[in-house]
Structure 1
Amino acid sequence: MTDPTNTAPECPQHGPMSLRTTEQLFSGPVYACPDEACWNAVLHPSDKLVAELKEQGKRRGTITITHTRADGTLLEGSRKGDGVFELVRPHRFWFSRSMPGTLFIRQSRDKRADHWSIRRAAEALRKAGWTVEITIDEDTRRSFAEAEADRVTRAEERTERFTEYAGNAAARSNTAYAGVRQIADGIPMGQPLMPDHHSYRRALRDRERMDAGMRRSIDEGKKAEYYTQRAKASGSYEVFRKNPPRALRRIEKLEAELRGVERWLRGESNNGYTRALTPDTVAELGRRKEELEEEIGYWRHVIAEAEANGFKVWRPDDFVKGDFAKVYGRWFQVLRVNKKTLTVPSILNVHQAVVTPQNSTYGEMTHTVPYDKVFGRRSAEEMERTLAEASSS
C-alpha cells in the first residue's frame, strides 16, 4: 500500500517505504520496505495514543534501532529515566557505561539480526507512545580478520584488567593479614581469656578483629587467585585460537557447514533438512557462504604460517599400512590409512609404549584417530631399529 500523503519515510537501501497494516503484532501505522529481503521499518504509535499522551502533557520522541554486522544491534534516542530501558530489557537489550544513551543487544556483532527481539522491543516502545525506526543492513560487516583482531585486542585488555584486579586483591589480603599479625604480636603466647581481668573486653575485641581480619585476608586471597587465572586465560587467548590442531578441526567443521549452505542454495537437502528459497533466505545463505569462505581462508593462512614455522600437518599421503603414528604420547601401528583418519589398535592400551595388534591389551579392538591428533611418524623399519637399540642397551 502506498502512502497517499507522500510522506512515507525512506529505506536507506531501497528508497520510499510502503504503508502496511497488520492485525496481530503491529496494530497501527507501519511503514516497511517493499523489498522482500529487507527488514527496515518505521512504527508509529496510534493516533488515539498520541492524543491521550498530549492530554496528559507527555511527549515521546523517536527511537532508532539499527543493526549492521559490523556494529551489532544498537538502540539510540533514549535518555536515562525515560523508561525505554525497562521496556526493551525483556527483549535482550542492555546498556554500556562506555556508550551513554545507547542500548544494545549483547553478542549481536558479526551475526544476523535477531528480528524477533527487535520487533518485540519496537512494539513495546510503540505502545508506550514512541515512534520507532528500524534499520537493518546485513551487508555491512567487518572482515573475519578484523573481527578476530578485535577479539585478540579485547582479550589483551582483559588480561591487563584482571592482572590489576589480582594485584589489588593480593595487596588487600596482605594488609589484612598484617593487621592480624600486629594484634597477635601484642598477645603473649598461650595467654588465655581472663573474664575477671580489666582487659577482658579488649581481649574479646582483639580476637574478633583477628577473626574478621583472617577471613578478609582469605577471601581477598581467593579473589587474587581467581583474577590471576582469568588473566592467564585471557593472555593465552590468541595462542589457544591459533593452535594448529585446533585450527585444523575448525577448518573441517567450517568446510562441512559450507558444503551444507551450497546444497541449500542449489535447492538440495542438507542432512535431511531443506530450506524454502525465499528472497530473504537466498540473500542470507549467500552472505553466510561468503563469510564461511573468508573464515576458512583465514584459518588456512594460520596453518600455512604454522607449517612455515615447522609444524607438520599430517595427511593420508604421509602413511602406509604398517607405519607407526605417535598418538597421545605413544606409538600405534597403522592398520589402515583412511581419508580423514588412521585405523590403529585400541588407544585404551595404557601400558605399552609401542602398540601393535599382537601386544594390544584389547586384542582385535581398533580405533580411528584423526590426523590432527597425530604428532609423529616412524616407518616399520625405523621402529624395528629403535626397539632393537632399546633392548640391546
Structure 2
Amino acid sequence: MLVISHTLETGTVVYGTDRNDGTGPIIKKTGFRPSQNLAEHPEYGSAYWYVASTRRRRAKTDYIDRCAAALRDAGHQIRVEIDNTTLPTTSFAQLEQERYERAEERADRFTTFADNAAAQGTRAIEQVDQDRKQIPLGQPHLIGHHSYNKTVRQEQQRNAREQRGLEHVRRGRRWRQRADAAERFQSGRQAIGTTQRRIERLEAEIRAHDRFLAGRLEHWEITITTGSTGEYGISLDERLARRPPGSHVLSLDEGRNVAEVLIAVGPQARAEIQAQITLLTEEVDYWRNHVAALQADQGMKVWSKSDFVRGDLIQCGGQRWYEIVRVNPKTLSVANGVNSVDLKVVTRFNARSATGGPGWTDKLPYHQVTDQMDAAEARTRFPDAFSAADPA
C-alpha cells in the first residue's frame, strides 16, 4: 500500500515508493518531484516523491487528491493521512541551515558537471582542429577522384565531432550558471533588502490568519422569505446551531428583516491556523534577529519613516539623486520625469513630463534606499537643481 502523508515536519510525501517501482510516470504528472534524500518512515517504508515547499505549511490538498486519484485509477491501494496541527520538532533555524548545506552541495556538484562538460568539449574541438591541420590549406575535395567519397565522409565526421564538442561546451556553461546561482543562494536569501521584504510578507500572512480567526461577518434574513436558500422555514437560532460553535448574532434590524451574524471558525480550522501563526511567528523572529545582527556586525542601515523629511535627497543603487516629495509609512514618493536620465539630481523643479510640463512622483520602498542627503546640504551642493522660488 502507498501512503500519501502530510505533516508539518516532513511536508507532503508518498511513502512506499522508490525510483524504479513504476509509479513515477503517474506521480510526476500530478506535480510531485523526485528526491533520493527523503527520510524513511518507520512504518510506511521508503519515500521518493514529495511536493515542494510544503514543510511547515498546510497541505496542498489539490496535489494530494490528484495523486491519489491517479494512483487508484492505475490499480494501486492508497491511504491519505493529513496532519496540519502537530508542530514540527525541527526548528526554523535548523531548516534554514539545511537549505544552505543543500545549496553548497548543489554548487559543488554542478561545478563538477560544468568542468567535466567543458573539458570534454574542449578536447573534442582541439582534436578536430588537429585533424584539419593535416589537410593542406585550401585543399578542395577532388571530384571524380577515387578519394572523393572518403574525404567527404571524413569532413562530415569532423563537423559532427565539432558540433558535439560545442554542445558539451554550451552544456558546461549552463551547469556553470546553475553552480553560480547555488553559490549565491545563501547571500541572496540573507540580503537585508530581501529579508525585509520577507518579514513584511510573513507579517501580512499572520495578520490575514488573525482576521480569519476573528470570524466572518454575514448578513442574514431574520425570517427567510424565499425557498431558494434551502433553509426556508428554519428559525434564526436553528440556523446558528448548524454553524461552528461560537457563531452568534451581533445585531438585529427587524424593520429590514436583517440580522448581522458572526460566523466563528471551526475547531479543526482554528487549530490549523493557530499552528501556522506559531510557525510564522518563529520565522519572523528568526529573520528579525538576522537583520539585527547585520546592523550590529556590519553596520547596515535599516531605513524607516523617521529617517527622512520632505526635501531630502536619496539614492537607490545608482549615482542619481532623487528629491523626496512625500514621506509615506512604507515608501517614499520621489520626483521623476522623462528627462531624469540626463539629470544628476532629480527634483520636482527640474523633472519634466513628455509634454514639457511638471514631472511625476514614483514610490520607492525604504529597503531600496542606499544613501541619503538632507535638504540643506542638497541645496548647497546642487543649487542649480532647485528653483529660486523654492519655499524650502
Q: 1:359 aligns with which of 329, 350, 353?
A: 350
CA distance in 1 between counterparts of 2:190 and 2:155 reads 53
Alpha-carbon shift at residue 131 of structure 1 (Å): 5.7
Across the aligned residues of Structure 1 and Structure 2, the Cα RMSD in angstroms comes to 3.0
Summarize deviations over 1:266-307 as a string: whole Å, max 9, x none. Answer: 1157xxxx9861222111211221122111112212211221
Q: Which residue of 2 aligns with 1:104?
A: 49
CA 1:179–1:87 in structure 2 vs 1: closer, same or farther (change >3 Å)?
closer
1:125·1:131 contact (CA, 8 Å) conserved in 2? yes
Residue 71 of structure 1 and its aligned partner are, at CA, apart by: 1.7
CA distance in 2, matches of 1:192, 1:130: 65
Preserved contact between residue 341 and residue 370 of structure 1 (Cα < 8 Å): yes
From 320, 328, 338, the counterpart of 1:338: 328
What's 1:69 paired with?
8
For 1:86 and 1:380, the matched residues in 2 are separated by: 64
Counterparts of residues 211-360 of structure 1 (less than 5 Å): 211-267=159-215, 277-308=265-296, 309-329=298-318, 330-346=320-336, 348=338, 349-360=340-351
The one-letter amino acid paired with 1:353 is K
Distance 1:84 1:233, change over 3 A: closer
Q: Which runs of 5+ in 2 are unaligned?
A: 39-44, 218-261, 385-392
Matched residue, 1:10:
none
Offset of 1:222 from its aligned partner?
0.9
TM-score by length of 1: 0.73
Residue 118 of structure 1 and its aligned partner are, at CA, apart by 3.6
State the distance in 2 between where 1:376 and 1:153 align. Answer: 34
How many percent of aligned residue pairs carry the same amino acid?
Answer: 35
The answer to whether the Cα contact below 8 Å between 2:216 and 2:264 also exists between their aligned partners in 1 is no
Deviations 1:124-169 (A, max 9, x none): 6668776654443332423222222222111111111111111111
Q: Per the alignment, do residues 263 and 334 of structure 1 end up closer, same or farther by CA in structure 2, a change over 3 Å counting?
A: same
Q: Would you say the 8 A contact 1:264–1:275 is kept in 2? A: no
Please, what TM-score do these two structures have when normalized by structure 2?
0.74
User: Counterpart of 1:311 in 2: which secondary structure?
Assistant: coil
Tell me the alpha carbon deviations over residues 188-232 of structure 1, each in whole angstroms, 9 at most, x when there is no partner: 000111123343233212211221122112111111111111111
Q: Does 1:114 align with 2:56?
A: no
Asked whether the 8 Å contact 2:337–2:352 carries over to 1, the reply is no
CA 300–101 in structure 1, closer or farther in 2 if over 3 Å, else same: closer
Check conservation: 1:67, 1:135, Cα contact below 8 A.
yes
Partners of 2:171 and 2:56 lie apart in 1 by: 33
1:91-240 correspondence to structure 2 within 5 Å = 91-93=30-32, 95-97=34-36, 101-107=46-52, 108-118=54-64, 121-122=67-68, 132-138=78-84, 139-141=86-88, 142-240=90-188
Q: Are 2:368 and 1:379 equivalent residues in the alignment?
A: no
| Partner-residue secondary structure (3-state), 2:176 | helix
Deviates more, 1:71-80 or 1:322-331: 71-80
What's the counterpart of residue 232 of structure 2? none
1:373-393 Cα offsets, whole Å, 9 max, x none, are 11111112222333379xxxx
Q: Deviations over 1:78-125 (max 9, x none)?
A: 578876556655544555455695243331333322344445655666
CA deviation after TM superposition for structure 1 residue 336, in Å: 2.0
How much has 1:320 moved relative to structure 2?
1.7
Mark the CA change 1:182 to 1:73 in structure 2 (over 3 Å): closer, same or farther: same
Number of aligned residue pairs? 325
CA contact (8 A) 1:314 1:374 kept: yes
Mapped contact 1:67–1:136 kept (Cα < 8 A): yes
Query: What's the counterpart of residue 5 of structure 1?
Result: none
Distance 1:213 1:268 in 2: 68
- 2-side partners of 1:388 and 1:87: how far apart? 70
Deviations 1:22-65 (A, max 9, x none): xxxxxxxxxxxxxxxxxxxxxxxxxxxxxxxxxxxxxxxx4433
